[in-house]
Each structure stands twice: as structure tokens, then as C-alpha cells.
Chain A
């Protein structure tokens, strides 16, 4: 996959499959420390210790359609390649937390890519799930939560085309603003 935002979408889809009501995505960028952290946290069904131990193993999956599950292994591979690592914490019935760290100077680091499209895809995938997103880049910060948006919309669905169009532009502008060097 060519963008970090696609990895984020992939892992957050696991959260949706795990029946999460809330998904929280955080992105932390610190150029001075040559450091980036990406985390995805959910309140889905979580994993027991046995499954958790095998979570980064590509031959682990909960699916019946195929015998491999590459989402988390891909993410870990990328982090390792980029001088970082990936961690996972999970508790059955509570939720799961996945985190990847990266060296910004790594030659193997791929672009963060289209975060707004990832967020919109998650909203559309299951509009009952609330998505929060926070980006911190060298001291600048932007945060977003579908819960707040839904409250403001008061009866109008978040998946209405006019709302989605506005959300895309709103997210693009604010994320670009935070990421400007």
C-alpha cells in the first residue's frame, strides 16, 4: 500500500468488524525528534491472549474466506522498515489499541496520504460508528469527532452528499494547515 492513510483505513476496518462504537485515530509528528506515531484505538470486542499473541502473524485471521490476514503484519513490517515498531494491546470485551512508530527521516517511509478519504470511507462504511481523529504536528493540533458533527447536524444524516462534501473540504483544509512546515 502506498499511503499510511490506507494502512490506517485497513486497521480501522478491523475495529468496525470488531463491533466498535468508537474509533480513535491519532497522528503525532515531531520533526525535531525525527518521530511519528500513528495509533488506532477502538472499543470493539477485543481479543483474548491467545489471538493477541498471534495478531501480527500473517497466518492468523478470524475470516473463513481465506487463511491469511495481512493488515496488521503489513503495518508492523512498514514500521520496522522505517526504524520504528508496532505494538498492540487488547482486552476481551474492552477494545484494542494498535500503535506504530516511524522515523520521519526513513527512506522507506511512505506519504501519510489522503487522511480525509480514509475518514470519509470509515464514516460511510458504518455510519453508526463514531470516528475521532487528532493530528499533532510540531506543536500544531487539529482534532475532529463525528459525535460533535452529528450533534450539530441534529437530524440530518452525516452521510448526506452535501455533508460529506463539506467534511472532505473541512478535513483537507485543517489537516493541511497543521501539517504545513
Chain B
């Protein structure tokens, strides 16, 4: 059973890592979390993104939510912001796609064009 006491251990370990961290890449990922997004499966998408980043020990990517942008039929939608580049909007994302977006776009720097909004509009 997990206890609150364990948190202190995690705090110490994480603090050591944070102090070593120099790479501030400023990448930001947002997941549409309005009623439309949630109903379409935004929560497992967000959890998959967090899990994939965690597995890869990527700690300098900000994950947040965004509201509805009026394109509810394309939810779940995920935006990836890389500094100096145009925002990329992925549509109809599921857990698998979310993991691949982290691997290909966030880690390797190659947006997956077939899954973006520009492939349909």
C-alpha cells in the first residue's frame, strides 16, 4: 500500500534530478478538455501523453488543457507547440496516436502530418 511517507523519498530523488536538468526546451502540449473533448476520449489521451513522457523521463515538456475551439467533430484534439515553429493541431487522437505523437513529434521533431487538421481542412 502506498503511503504518504513515500512521497518524501520521491521528493528527494526528483529534486536531485531537477537540479541536474539543464535542457529547457519549452515544448508545450495541450489537450482539448471541454465536454466534447472529454466525451470523445480526451482523458485517456492526456494520461497516455503523461505516461509516455514519464517513461522517457521527459520532464521539461508542459502538458495542459485547452477548451473547445468549435471543431467538436475532430475531438480529441491535441496541440503541440514547439518554440520557433508553427503550432501543430492533431485531430481524432487516441491513446496510441498520443504515444506516437510524443515519440515522433516531441522527441524526434517530426510532426505526423497525416493526423493533423491540415490533412482534412
Cβ contact of A155, chosen from B15, B33, B63, B70, cutoff 8 A = B15
Contact, CB under 8 Å: A124 / B46: yes
Q: Which A residues lie within 8 Å of B43 (CB)?
A: 6, 9, 114, 117-118, 121
Contact, CB under 8 Å: A125 / B33: yes
Contact, CB under 8 Å: B63 / A124: yes
Answer yes or no: B64 CB below 8 A from chain A CBs. Answer: yes
Q: Which B residues lie within 8 Å of A160 (CB)?
A: 14, 18, 59
Contact, CB under 8 Å: B65 / A124: yes
Report the bound CA distance from A63 to B47 in whole Å: 26
User: Nearest Cβ distance between residue A83 and chain B, in whole angstroms?
Assistant: 23
Q: Which A residues lie within 8 Å of B26 (CB)?
A: none
Cβ contact of B10, chosen from A71, A162, A173, cutoff 8 A = A162
Q: Which B residues lie within 8 Å of A16 (CB)?
A: 65
User: Nearest Cβ distance between residue B62 and chain A, in whole angstroms?
Assistant: 8
Q: Which of B1-9, B81-89, B98-106, B107-115 contacts A (4 or more CB under 8 A)?
A: B1-9
Cβ contact of A65, chosen from B2, B7, B58, B70, cutoff 8 A = B70
Report the bound CA distance from A176 to B11 in whole Å: 25
Residues of A at the B interface (CB closer than 8 Å) are: 1, 6, 9-10, 13, 16-17, 63, 65-66, 69-71, 74, 114, 117-118, 120-121, 124-126, 149, 152-156, 159-166, 169-170, 173-174, 177
